[in-house]
């Protein structure tokens, strides 16, 4: 909070020196940009609302400077707030403030173009010749959750509807270079900015509603609704140990390399759907850990503008496809419980959600819980330890979802290795409650795979070790050359055992 107040104080100081536009270049988009006088120099102040679902937001600006001599540097384009305030504003869809320092003393360039992720949001004509074009860019990067994007609740608004109308200039624009009588400080050096293409957003795949789907009739109170003990044999972890983590016998040997999962091969895999009207949109993955409990990622339900309640969530079990008409079991969700330490600002630390199934399935070859970690297994896994991950998320061809689940192996890496492979902005998502894994062939989870399990196979018994939480993107693809961050379920066992239902 103090950081936001400091920013407001700085903006107030800058506004004190605001100079009338009659002595400055024409501004095509006054709602986004203005000139300010600060400590006897003019600077530019740009503010933009960025897309908080993008892993990268690139802002490019172009300036026109009168004269025929190019300056040694094009100027400097920086964020006006500190990192904590920056990500607070991004998460809450508040404008990000940028400061533009001009390169040549005594000369004020004209802003001629602003683009965000390739979309032009402001444009104006250059000064008449002789003039020089200056180009600057700035990228805001962050790790992103790997949940499927939420479906639109209404028709898509026009691009950049937050910005004032009339950003493009008309015929009344002035081209006269400004005259400056005030001496300016020497130019500053510009930093180096990366050239990355931003990811593109797409709609999630929709699945028609299944016939006679069972749905909860009302939102249940926040109390586990457990029938009498004698009505069901698996009431404790000890009882589940005799059935959990064992696959159906598969006739065709399976190769872990991104191949399709056969039905019954991972009988604890679940798919989560969001009900939108009469449609059921695939949302995230999950893992069955008892007859009444599915574990998934908290950010699938609460992140940014997403606020998905239990009564609009459906769980598919016993299927290897997203086809709800096929053989399998479908249940509503009577209760949604997020980890009390889940924090969207560092969501990977406790990115866990438990779903209480409205209907209890019967365990068979196709529906069975996975085993949970216990003290008989390693807590600190060495680098290179083999693990596995599966899901229905985005594939290598850019398809939003795969119809059938795919699975691949992935190697555990140490936290030191993980931090060394990520940017400083993204390394803070690695905590004492996370675990990282990477695949040398760049195979692994992508958008839509959030909430799925990071699994270990110990002497033919499968264990749940982590939950898919965050990954990196580059251009319009997941960047699986970089590590994927999982919330480490083994570090949250006390909470899990106290909270799950049987």
The first and second tokens of residue 38, run together, are 């600060």
Separation CA 197–CA 311 (nearest Å): 38
- Residue-level pLDDT at 225: 34
Residues 294-316 pLDDT 10s: 999 999 999 888 899 999 999 99
Residue 178 above 80 pLDDT? Answer: no
DSSP 103: S
Separation CA 198–CA 474 (nearest Å): 7
Average pLDDT, the chain: 77
Separation CA 257–CA 407 (nearest Å): 7
State which fold the 210-224+233-499 domain adopts: Thrombin, subunit H (2.40.10)
Residues 44-87 pLDDT 10s: 999 999 987 777 789 999 999 999 888 888 889 998 887 777 87
Residues 116-132 pLDDT 10s: 999 999 999 999 999 99
Residue 144 above 60 pLDDT? Answer: no
Sign of CA dihedral 331, 324, 53, 391: positive
Could you tell me the pLDDT band of residue 478, with boundaries at 50, 70 and 90? confident
Q: Could you state, in order of their start, the residue ranges of all structural domains in the chain?
A: 2-142, 210-224+233-499
**Which region among 224-238, 344-358, 363-377 has the lowest average model confidence (pLDDT)?**
224-238
End-to-end CA distance of the chain: 42
Residue 23 above 90 pLDDT? Answer: no
- Residue-level pLDDT at 93: 85
Sign of CA dihedral 26, 32, 38, 43: negative
């Amino acid at each position: 909070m103090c950081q936001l107040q400091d920013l407001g104080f700085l903006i107030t100081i800058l506004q004190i020196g605001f100079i009338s536009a009659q002595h400055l270049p024409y501004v095509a988009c006054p709602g986004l940009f203005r000139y300010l006088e600060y400590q006897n120099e003019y600077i530019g102040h740009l503010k933009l609302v960025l897309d908080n679902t993008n892993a990268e937001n690139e802002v490019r600006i172009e300036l026109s400077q009168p004269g025929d001599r190019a300056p040694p540097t094009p100027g400097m384009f920086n964020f006006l707030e500190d990192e904590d305030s920056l990500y607070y504003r991004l998460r809450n869809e508040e404008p990000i403030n940028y400061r533009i320092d001009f390169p040549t003393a005594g000369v004020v360039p004209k802003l001629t173009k602003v683009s965000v992720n390739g979309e032009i949001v402001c444009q104006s004509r250059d000064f008449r010749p002789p003039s020089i074009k200056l180009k600057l860019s700035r990228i805001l990067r962050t790790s992103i959750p790997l949940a499927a994007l939420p479906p639109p609740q209404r028709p898509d608004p026009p691009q950049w509807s937050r910005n004032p109308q009339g950003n493009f200039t008309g015929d009344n624009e002035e081209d006269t270079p400004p005259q400056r009588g005030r001496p300016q400080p020497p130019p500053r050096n510009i930093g180096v900015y990366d050239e990355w293409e931003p990811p593109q957003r797409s709609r999630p795949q929709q699945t028609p509603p299944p016939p006679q789907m069972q749905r909860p009739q009302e939102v249940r109170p926040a109390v586990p609704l457990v029938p009498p003990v004698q009505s069901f044999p698996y009431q404790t972890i000890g009882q589940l140990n005799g059935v959990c983590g064992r696959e159906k016998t598969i006739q065709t040997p399976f190769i872990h390399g991104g191949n399709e999962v056969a039905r019954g091969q991972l009988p604890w895999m679940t798919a989560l759907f969001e009900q939108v009207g009469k449609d059921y949109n695939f949302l995230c993955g999950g893992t069955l850990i008892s007859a009444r409990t599915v574990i998934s990622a908290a950010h699938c339900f609460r992140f940014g503008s997403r606020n998905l309640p239990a009564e609009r969530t459906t769980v598919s079990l016993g299927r290897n496809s997203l086809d709800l008409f096929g053989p399998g079991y479908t249940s509503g969700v009577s209760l949604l419980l997020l980890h009390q330490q889940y924090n969207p600002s560092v969501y990977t630390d406790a990115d866990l959600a438990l779903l209480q199934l409205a209907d209890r399935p019967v365990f068979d070859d196709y529906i069975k819980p996975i085993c949970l970690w216990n003290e008989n297994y390693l807590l600190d896994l060495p680098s290179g330890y083999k693990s596995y991950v599966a899901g229905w998320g985005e594939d290598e061809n850019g398809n939003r979802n795969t119809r059938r689940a795919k699975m691949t192996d992935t190697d555990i890496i140490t936290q030191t290795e993980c931090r060394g492979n990520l940017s400083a902005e993204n390394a803070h998502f690695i905590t004492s409650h996370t675990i990282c894994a990477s695949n040398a062939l760049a195979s692994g989870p992508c958008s839509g795979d959030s909430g799925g399990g990071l699994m270990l196979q110990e002497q033919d018994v499968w264990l749940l070790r982590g939950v898919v939480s965050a990954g990196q993107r580059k251009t319009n693809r997941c960047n699986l050359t970089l590590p994927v961050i999982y919330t480490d379920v083994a570090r949250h066992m006390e909470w899990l055992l106290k909270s799950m239902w049987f």
